[in-house]
Structure 1
Amino acid sequence: MLHIPLDSICYIIAKAREFQAKEEVVIPETPSSPTEDWALQVLADHSGDYTLTELIESIGQMNQRQRAELVALMWVGRGDYA
């Protein structure tokens, strides 16, 4: 029996997927044209990334047993132990 609430697991999965969807994008200081891909800025990784902060805080609120279960779920979820 897991000691992690299901809604917490779903939240962590959603935040991890959101963070993983981001790409390392280099955005120029000044666009060379108005049609520059400024929308890609949303996908750029930044040191103060809010998604990463939420993920770290969520995992930080777990006790040691819950964190160990989360790691086990991550390994199983990768298909390593199918």
Structure 2
Amino acid sequence: MDLLTPLETYCRLILRARELEAQVPAEDPDEDADNVDDLDGDDEDSQALSVLEDELNTGVEEEMRAVLDDLADDQLSEALALAWIGRGTYDPAEWDEAFAEAGENDPESAIDELMDMPLLAAHLEAGLAAFDFTCEGIGQMD
């Protein structure tokens, strides 16, 4: 199989999807102080741990949406089909069927499905690997 979308584009999406998955929402200061994760009541420990969390950066999500939005319809179908194969919804031998079904989605629905897919980075990476493509040695992925 030959990719319709440059491998570098997928590698960039995988990198950004990983960044997005690592983000956690900022804590609401108005939230109840009796946090179930704070078993000993030591706020200093919970503050120290919160430093390790990446807070939401809407720029990463906007960049991913922009990259997906710039893809042609067949490239978007390819991305969705690769994610489905990586997730195990389809077997690599069912590529034509996965690609055809992905093509039935309107572009906005395909983008929304990709953006809402848990573990998108892992699914895209596995989908690419199923066809012997890898991001190793490409850009920031090495």
Please give the TM-score of this superposition, normalised by the length of structure 2. Answer: 0.45
Take 2:80 and 2:62, find their aligned partners in 1: how far apart are those partners? 18
Which structure has the bigger radius of gyration? 2
Take 1:68 and 1:51, find their aligned partners in 2: how far apart are those partners? 22
Query: Hey, what does 1:4 align to over in structure 2?
Result: 5
RMSD: 2.5
Aligned length: 76
Q: Return structure 1 stretches of 4+ with deviation > 6 angstroms.
A: none
Give the gaps of 5 or more residues in structure 1.
Answer: none
The one of the two structures with greater contact order (alpha-carbon pairs below 8 A, sep at least 6) is 1
Q: Are 1:26 and 1:44, in contact at CA under 8 Å, matched by a contact in 2? A: no
Query: Hey, what does 1:39 align to over in structure 2?
Result: 51
Pairwise CA distance, 1:27: 4.7
Structure with more helix by fraction: 2
- Map of 1:1-82 to 2, 5 A cutoff? 1-28=2-29, 36-37=47-48, 39=51, 43-45=54-56, 49-82=58-91
